[in-house]
Amino acid sequence: MVKLTMIARITDGLPLAEGLDDGRDLKDADFYKQQAKLLFKNLSKGQHESSRLSIETGPYYFHYIIESRVCYLTMCDRSYPKKLAFQYLEDLKNEFERVNGSQIETAARPYAFIKFDTFIQKTRKLYLDTRTQRNLAKLNDELCEVHQIMTRNVQEVLGVGEKLDQVSQLSSRLTSDTRMYADKAKDLNRQALIRKYAPVAIVMGIVLMLFWIKNKIW
């Protein structure tokens, strides 16, 4: 059964639409939605090896397809046929591109196409029962093979992003430390110059003051 459905722009990870009724009967729905958003974040950094991928997460699978810089993602039970899951995503993709294709790049706020939920829910109902004649026909369709679609573990996929984030944070920290040490070095040089030339300046000041006093007296 389809549990969650989310659509996001992968250039920046902006969520565009979501199945509003999805996850109501799902334990830890917020946890899995957060995982999906982390996946979108990783995808926005270019961390995807395939335009179609299945990802294991607990008792479920995330399935996604990427087309025209948009990611269409669903989460299903492990027992749900992989072929139907990707057919479901294809149906969403075709309709989303038809209705909203010209506005995707200019969308500036999250869930700008939330009204697409109506189509998501209608399509989801068509895929609930895997034994209907319609879905059995899709399962037997040899043109829709999914054997070559890779399956990864969610920790493995998210771990790649976490490691890159750690490297980025370390790089930023090193840059900050370098600037701090450079500023300290400038301060030390300034203090050294002051210590070196301050006595000379004091002596010169005293001499000039004595010379001025002498001229005043005479």
Q: Which pLDDT score is estimated for 95?
A: 97
For residue 170, give the amino acid letter: L
Q: Which pLDDT score is estimated for 164?
A: 44
- 151 vs 112: CA distance, rounded Å: 31
The answer to whether 99 touches 17, Cβ cutoff 8 Å, is no
- Pick out the chain residues at pLDDT < 50: 161, 163-164, 166-168, 170-171, 174, 178, 181
pTM of the model: 0.68
Q: Which pLDDT score is estimated for 124?
A: 92
CA angle 126, 127, 130 (to 5 degrees): 120
β-strand partners of 5: 74
Q: Within 13 Å of residue 93, how many CA atoms lie on the same side as its CB?
A: 20
- 140 vs 111: CA distance, rounded Å: 35
Q: Which pLDDT score is estimated for 167?
A: 41
The DSSP line for 7-18 is EEETTTTEEEEE
